[in-house]
Chains A and B, each alone.
Chain A
Amino acid sequence: QKEVEQNSGPLSVPEGAIASLNCTYSDRGSQSFFWYRQYSGKSPELIMSIYSNGDKEDGRFTAQLNKASQYVSLLIRDSQPSDSATYLCAVPRGGFQKLVFGTGTRLLVSP
C-alpha cells in the first residue's frame, strides 16, 4: 500500500460545479495534511493545510479530514477553468520536514 494514494484522474467538471478530490494515507499517526496545486510545467503551490478532524474553509476551497477513515479531501466550489491543474496531497513523515506526496489528481474544468 502506498503511503499517500490519489486517483490520477483526469477529473472533469463543468465550470461552476463542485470538484471533489480525494486522498487516503496509510500512517494512522499522521497529524498534518497538505494540498498543493501544480500547473503544468510549474512548481507545487500550497493551497490548504489541515490538522484537525472536520472541515476547514478558505474561499472557494474546503479541506475535509477524517482521521478515523484515514482520508483527506479537497472541495473546490464554483470551479473555474483556471483551477485546471494537478492537485497533490502531501503528508509529513518523520517530522514536519519530509513530505510524502501522492501522485496527484489532474483536474480539468471546462468552460
Chain B
Amino acid sequence: GAGVSQTPSNKVTEKGKYVELRCDPISGHTALYWYRQSLGQGPEFLIYFQGTGAADDSGLPNDRFFAVRPEGSVSTLKIQRTERGDSAVYLCASSLNAARGNTIYFGEGSWLTVV
C-alpha cells in the first residue's frame, strides 16, 4: 500500500484478555517501529525491528508485551492479560532503513481500550 497500514483501527477488550495488533509497513521499508501514545502525551518508543529481528525492545513495558516480524514485513504486537493502563493508541511506523536522514512514516494507529 501507499502508507503504513494498521489493523484494527479500534479495539475494545476486557481486562485480562489477549490482543493482537497488526502493522503492514510501506513496501520496501526494512525498519519497523512500534510506539504507544497516551492521551496528552507524545509517542513513546516500544520496539524497533531491522528486518526480521528485534534490534531494540528496550521500550516494551513488561513481559506481557511481545512483538514479532517473522518475514521482515508485517509485524504483530501482542499484549497478554491486558490491563486498563494499556489503553492507548498503538502507532506503527516504518522507514527505508534505520540510517540517519531516513524519514519515519507513521500509520494511523490502533486505538486500544481496555475495559
Contact = CB atoms under 8 A, between A and B. Distances in A.
A8 B40 contact: yes
A46 B103 contact: yes
- Chain B binding surface, main DSSP class: loop
Given A43-B106, A43-B108, A45-B106, A101 B44 contact: yes
Nearest to A106: B40
Nearest to B49: A97
A95 B33 CA distance: 13
A99 B40 contact: no
Contacts of A101: 42-44
B43 A44 contact: yes
A98 B56 contact: yes
Contacts, number: 55
Nearest to A104: B42
Interface in A67-103: 88, 90, 94-103
Residue from A97, A101, A104 whose CB has the most chain B CB atoms within 10 Å: A97
Interface residues of A, number: 23
Chain B interface residue number, banded: 20 to 34
Interface in B53-108: 55-56, 58-59, 91, 98-108
B109 interface: yes
A44 B106 contact: yes
B85 to A, nearest CB: 18
Interface of B: 31, 33, 35, 40-45, 48, 50, 55-56, 58-59, 91, 98-109
Interface of A: 4, 8, 32, 42-46, 49, 51, 88, 90, 94-104
